Each structure stands twice: as structure tokens, then as C-alpha cells.
Amino acid sequence: MSNVNCSKVNSILFILMTFSAYRDKKAVTFYLGYLSADNNADYFAKAVASTLRGIVKSSEDRLARMQFKEAVELAKIVQMIAPLCEIDDDELRRLHVKCVDEVKHINGILKLENVVRGE
């Protein structure tokens, strides 16, 4: 690292001064990796791939949490309504088939207004 010039050292200091405590460590680590790789394309490819993996994982986790919350809300509604309805097994099967067809037809976007109007 003895061959690092002053402008590179100034860049490191700039990164340290401008980023938050968490980010500056990552920024410095990245920049030092970049300097030691001497503009190596593999280093950038790995850094981008790692960043994209983190973004995708974060999105997956957020979507999974949202789906869980929706499932809980739906279960509460079903638990409240089911005791009020007297539906035999045949009617339940027909209702299931009707709902599957409806969701396929509307591409999963269900609007209460359309259901009320019988659409």
C-alpha cells in the first residue's frame, strides 16, 4: 500500500468525514479493496453482486413479513364470519372453485366494489 498517492489518501479521508459511522467503515473497506485491486473488474463484479444479493434478500424479507400480516388479518376475518354461515361441503367446494376462477380472471386484484356489484 506504499504506492498509494496523496489524492487516494485524500479520497479515503473524504469518505471517512462524509459518511455515517456505519457507512464509513463499509466505504473505506470498499475503497481500500478497490485500490488494492487496481481497477480490477472482478472486484467490481463481486461488489455489485454482493450488493444486489443484499437488496433482493431485504425485499424478500419485507414481502414475507407483509404476506404473513395479510394472512393473519384474513384468518381473523374468516374466524369471525365462518360461524355465521351454514355452508355444507358441496357449497364450500363450489365456492372455492368460483373464487379460484375469479382470482385468475382478475389477476389477483380483488375490489370490494366489483364484488358488491356482482362483477
Residues 6+ apart with CB under 8 A from 116: none
The CA-atom distances, in angstroms, between 38 and each of 2, 4, 5, 8, 80 are: 13, 10, 13, 12, 64
Q: Are 9 and 1 in contact (CB under 8 A)?
A: no
> Residues 50-97: pLDDT tens digits?
888 888 999 999 999 999 999 999 899 988 998 888 888 999 899 999
User: Looking at 12-16, 41-45, 107-111, which range is the least confident one?
Assistant: 12-16
Q: Look at 83 and 6; give whichever has higher pLDDT.
A: 83
For a pLDDT cut of 90, what percent of the chain falls above it? 22
Radius of gyration of the chain (CA): 28
Between CA 52 and CA 93 the distance in angstroms is 43
C-alpha cell at 27: 466505504
pTM: predicted TM-score of the whole model, two decimal places: 0.49
pLDDT at residue 100, rounded to an integer = 87
What is the overall mean pLDDT for the chain? Answer: 77
| φ/ψ (deg, to 5) at 111 | -120, 130
